[in-house]
Structure 1
Amino acid sequence: MDLIHIRDLRVLTVIGALPHEQEQAQPIRVDLDLHVDLTEAGISDELDDTVNYGLVADEIAAMAADNKFVLLERLADEIARNTLRFDRVEAVDVTVTKLRPPVPTALESTAVTLHRRRSDVDIPMLRPHEAIIALGSNLGDREGFLRLAVDSLDRVVAQSQVFETAPVGGPEQGAYLNMVVKIETALDPFALLRRCQRIEANAARQRVVHWGPRTLDLDVLFYDDVTISSPELLVPHPRIFERRFVLTPLEEVAPERCPDGWRDTLPPDEVTPRGQLRR
């Protein structure tokens, strides 16, 4: 896991076991290491794909200033819990340093360091979003490219079998392998679109001819129950209900998304089942 470092955050807070320490705020220093997967941010250069360390620092400073603590251990644990509430943070290392310990010996500071994971403190991730994505390939190692896509997407909770279909529209080209997957993701719709485009690029997808052959094609069909209409993304996908090669695998993954009687209304395009995607 990658790391985001927050260093030397200075906060005034009431902390200590002695009576006078519970009457006046004193300075502490907080250092954090946030364990985060920064793959998306490293590629996209988008703030939404990382953790905003400024917001983390503000949250920790406000929490410490507004509460009283006896032990550094208790304060450090509370800092960890607040940090783990930020989406994408899977674990955190917290060091809290007391800069003026009230002891008679010459002592510059004292500190505690703890490590907490999201699972340790029973803080669930934010509710994941459900997305349904159509996959297609008709160039090169078609099944290998589908497997690449499935392995590269977020948590796949359901997937259809693979279907071989004749091309619809565009120039003369070979048959496609198509399938549909349902995933759970913490990405917003546009970050998910960027993820799909990067997966296509990893499969050497080239956008030369409209509706032309391609090594890999990923279309976001649904994202929760939201409707998006923008130049970059249309959700639900506008041509879902015109395509037997989409509806056939979609029916295996999310039959409730298919319109009633669709098999009787669409032209009988050739869609041949090929079985489950081989690992």
Structure 2
Amino acid sequence: MERLEPGMARIRIKNLRLRTFIGIKEEEINNRQDVLINARILYPADSAVAENEIDHALNYRTITKALISHVENNRFALLERLTQELLDIIMQHAQVRYAEVEVDKPHALRFAESVSITLSAERP
């Protein structure tokens, strides 16, 4: 894992398992399936460390609730689209400098545990 710059914090949301409609086959369109979401978020945490107050931190609970709501209340044909939309939700927060989202679709391929897509975004 890369080294963090001083003052930066890395938030990791690990193995967020949700159910949604994802895919292009009739069976996938008509039945919810599991997806597994992992996210890495980097943001400057100097103020949060110094002040020890939530108002100075990036609220990962708020972000996670938004991800859950989006996944559970929408339909997706492609993993790429779902992954990008989740990344966009995270990047709406001005404090975020870098985010990476990986979405796994368990049992999407015969003989494979899962298939995943990873996308990232960076703010200068």
Q: 1-side partners of 2:120 and 2:91: how far apart?
A: 11
Aligned match of 2:66 in 34, 59, 62?
59
Which amino acid letter does the alignment assign opposite residue 58 of structure 2? V
Q: CA deviation at 1:100?
A: 2.7
* SS at structure 1 position matched to 2:107: coil
Q: CA deviation at 1:107?
A: 1.2
Indicate the structure (1 or 2) with the bigger Cα radius of gyration: 1
* SS at structure 2 position matched to 1:60: helix
Q: 2-side partners of 1:3 and 1:29: how far apart?
A: 20
Alignment of 1:25-174 (within 5 A): 25-101=32-108, 103=109, 105-118=110-123
Q: CA deviation at 1:106?
A: 1.2
RMSD (Å), alpha carbons: 1.4
Deviations 1:199-236 (A, max 9, x none): xxxxxxxxxxxxxxxxxxxxxxxxxxxxxxxxxxxxxx
Q: 2-side partners of 1:18 and 1:34: how far apart?
A: 33
Q: 1-side partners of 2:60 and 2:95: how far apart?
A: 12
Question: Which one has the bigger strand percentage?
Answer: 2
Which amino acid letter does the alignment assign opposite residue 24 of structure 1? N
Which amino acid letter does the alignment assign opposite residue 50 of structure 1? A
Q: CA deviation at 1:118?
A: 4.2
Which amino acid letter does the alignment assign opposite residue 84 of structure 2? D
Aligned match of 1:5 in 12, 31, 35?
12
Q: CA deviation at 1:117?
A: 2.2
Which amino acid letter does the alignment assign opposite residue 111 of structure 2? A
* SS at structure 2 position matched to 1:88: coil
Alignment length (residue pairs): 117
The runs of at least 4 consecutive aligned structure 1 residues that moved more than 6 Å come to: none
Q: CA deviation at 1:10?
A: 1.1
- Structure 1 unaligned regions, length at least 5: 120-279
Q: 1-side partners of 2:11 and 2:94: how far apart?
A: 14
What TM-score does the superposition give when structure 1 sets the normalisation length?
0.40
Which amino acid letter does the alignment assign opposite residue 43 of structure 1? A
What TM-score does the superposition give when structure 2 sets the normalisation length?
0.88
Question: What is the aligned partner in structure 2 of residue 17 from structure 1?
Answer: 24
Confirm or deny: 8 A CA contact 1:27 1:100 kept in the other structure. Answer: no
Q: CA deviation at 1:58?
A: 0.6
Q: Which has the higher contact order (CA 8 A, sep 6+)?
A: 2
Q: CA deviation at 1:86?
A: 1.9
